[in-house]
Each structure stands twice: as structure tokens, then as C-alpha cells.
Amino acid sequence: MTPTNRLPAEKVMRAAIARRDKAYDGRFVYAVVTTGVFCRPSCSARPARPENLRFFPSTSAARAAEFRPCKRCRPEEAAAGMTRMVAVARHIEAHADETLTLASLSMRAGLSPSHFQRVFKATFGVTPKHYQDAARRNQLRSLLKSGGGVADAIFAAGYGSTSRVYGEASRHVGMTPGVYRDGGAGETIDYACRESALGPLLMAATRRGVCFAQFGNSESALLAQLQQEFPNATRRPSTAADGPELDAWIEALNKHLGAGAPRPDLPLDLRGTAFQIRVWQFLLNVAEGAVVSYAEVASGIGQPKAVRAAASACGANSIAVLVPCHRVLRSDGGLGGYRWGAERKRALLDAERGRRASS
């Protein structure tokens, strides 16, 4: 468990314990005063009475308060494993431009390659290879944003050849490196506007994925916002023959908003600074019905002091719901801000909690 003095809001922790939410393992432990033991949030032990729970930011803090570890969920083993995985993740980020083998990373963690692969994926939701790919792409974006040459940025990020990054662009980067650096000039963006359960919704996409999904008061206002965010791109109404299947995508999202259908897993074309994209990628791993604080987002991307910057990155998100910035609350559990209004944020959270409770 990464040491920290900051706990999630108490009602958030109680809800995580009630759900036995593994996503909160490593963020805090709770102790039961009647048994004298402390546990992970996901512990399968019989629920304790709410008034008997105490919360600690780390296993060492719980030990200092003279509680002992639960023999069922073994929180100290989980904490040690989390610490090792975080250390390996930081190593991957620092050496993203190098060749990192599964064998060398597992040796660093002190585990066998197969066990390390399983634990790392359980901790971060992706394999070590995919984690390094994302870190390398973030490094490439940062280099491109600094204004250097495209070829120099590609080689500096460790790709080895331009063909590798251009081949990956359609799967991950979205716009190609040159277009990304130039603000999307030369790209064609298709759009469609529909009345959704939360008001007018405009969705737009390049041929690589959704780059814009926003709520507004009118179609004209949303089109003005689209033009402001993509001033150098060619924008056109969606046509089934030429563009992405926006009609189907926006209908799937509206069914999710209004009828409780599963959130559609659509390709995304994220555009932003390296820091912003790290925040948005972190948010993509927050489960439906779960919430995090801005401080937890900052800690989750390895920059615990950048709380305000993390909040700003959430506010800069241009892809509503699909990049779930509505799942971020203030550290005191308050609703916090939302680009598309507090009422929409509350409606989204209430709907997600309802679906999670019913399932």
C-alpha cells in the first residue's frame, strides 16, 4: 500500500466496504473495534456494525493503533504487493523508451513472470506491456506538444522507426503525430446531435474514434463549441457512407443514459496534454458506481501534489460519460464541479449507483 495521510471521504469508504470493492484495496484499511482486527475493503468477512468501524490510511497506521491483521484477507500481504507493483510501474514510466522484458520486470518485483503478470494486471487493469505502451505514447505526446520534429519525437520515445508509431496511431494515439502537433489540421470530423435523457447531446468523431461528446442547451451552441475545440479540422454532419457510425454510437449512449443499457465501449480519440491524457486514462479504469476524489486521481497517476491540475484536467475533458469525469468528487464527499452542470453529474451518479445496487 502506498503510504498516504489522505483518506477517501468516510461515506465513500463505508460504501466500498459494503460492496467489498477491490478497487479500494490499497487506498485504506478498516478496523473493527469489537474484534481488534483490520481488513482490506474487499474482505469477505461477515460485515461489522457501522459504529464499530475505524479507518486508517495504511496497515502501519492500523498496527500503531494496536489492531492486528485479518487472517482471511491478509491486508499486509496485499499492501506489500501493492508497494512492489507501484515501484515496478514507476520504473516502467521512467524507462518507457527502453526494451523492458517480462523476465526483468518480474525479477524486480521478486515474483515469477506468470505470477507477476497476473498481479500487475489485477493492480492496474492492464498488462505490463500495455502499461509501457501507454507510458511511451504519453511520452510521445509530450514531445510532440513541445514543438520538436515528429521524427525526433518518435525516436526519442523509443519507437525505433516511424512505421511503428504510425501503425499504432489508428489503435491508440488517435490523430497521427503530425496532425496531433498541428492541432488536428487536415482531419475530417463527423458529428451528430440528438436529444438525450440529459438534454441535447452532440457527438463527433474522427475515423479513429470519438473525439467530442458534450451536453448543451441547443444544437447551435454545441456546434459552436465543436468549432472552438477543433478550429483547424473539417467538420461535417455524419453520413453512414463516409464517417464513423455516429448514429448508432449516439443511440447506444442515449440508451445507456435513459434506459440503463450498458455503457457503450466505443473507440476514443483523446486529445490533450500528456498530463490530461494520464488523468483521462486513469478515469477510464474507475468502475461504474464507484467514485474517487481529485486527490486520489492525482495520486493514481503518480503526482499526489497535483490535485488542482487533476481537477483542471477533469474540467478539460471533451468526452462526456465515455471518459467518466463525473465519477470524481471532492475529498469531503461533496459533488464538486462538472463541465456540464451539477444536476447532470448527480443524475449520472445516482443512475450508476442504482444499477450497481440492483446487480
158 Cβ neighbours under 8 A, 6+ residues apart: 96, 97, 98, 136, 139
The one catalytic residue among 73, 193, 314, 325: 325
Lay out the sheet containing 37-39: strands in order across: 53-56, 29-32, 37-39, 68-69
Copy the grid coordinates of residue 5. Answer: 495521510
Active site residue 73: no
Active site residue 70: no
- Please say whether the beta carbons of 272 and 323 come within 8 A: no
The one catalytic residue among 39, 70, 73, 314: 39
Dihedral in degrees, nearest 10, Cα atoms 105, 106, 109, 114: 140
The 10 Å CB-count burial string (b at 16+, else e) for 83-104 is ebbbebbeebbeebbeebeeee
Query: What is the maximum span of the chain, computed from C-alpha positions, in angstroms?
Result: 67
Q: CA-to-CA distance for 317 and 330, rounded, in angstroms? A: 17
Residues annotated as catalytic (active site), given as ranges: 39, 325
